[in-house]
Amino acid sequence: MDVAEVQRTLQTNVMGVIHCTQHAFKSMKERNMNGHIFIINSIAGHNVVSGIYGEIPMTNVYSPSKYALTAITEIYRREFLGLETKIKITSISPALVETELIGEQVKRLAKDRILSPHDISNAIMYALSTPPHVQIHDMIIKPLGDMF
């Protein structure tokens, strides 16, 4: 993988989340609000997504960048607690989601084993609907029959 592409992936998947989370946390803290931060992770943040066993992983630095989000989310959770806030943080880790980033060939190969963006928004709505004393830590969302 080209080093510039590695850098773009890390800037987007890791630094983008860090910057957004810091801004959201600062805003909530300044306004004395107990909000909710969602980290959009991936199943690749829990298992290295690759091709056939023994082959080079297809996603190169994508999985490590998402693994970083898994750790970062837990660090934020502990920091929020240590700062005596009641700001919730939830990591959402979907499998393949039908977005404009997914090519038609991948959509055809996935058939009915691809998530809708509505599936993810429904998960977020569920986490938002929990009472103040309940925090959903992590959600791994896969289509029925998914093998990964």
Taking the domains of the chain in order of start, what are their residue ranges? 3-19+30-141
DSSP code at position 75: H
Which are the catalytic amino acids?
62
pTM (2 d.p.): 0.86
Closest residue by Cα to residue 60 from 140, 142, 3: 3
Q: Specify the CATH superfamily of domain 3-19+30-141.
A: NAD(P)-binding Rossmann-like Domain (3.40.50.720)
Read off the tokens for 62: 């994508």
Q: Tokens 């091709």 correspond to what residue?
A: 51
Q: What is the pLDDT of residues 42-57, one digit of tens each?
A: 998 998 776 555 555 5
Ranges of residues in the chain whose predicted pLDDT is under 70: 50-59, 147-148
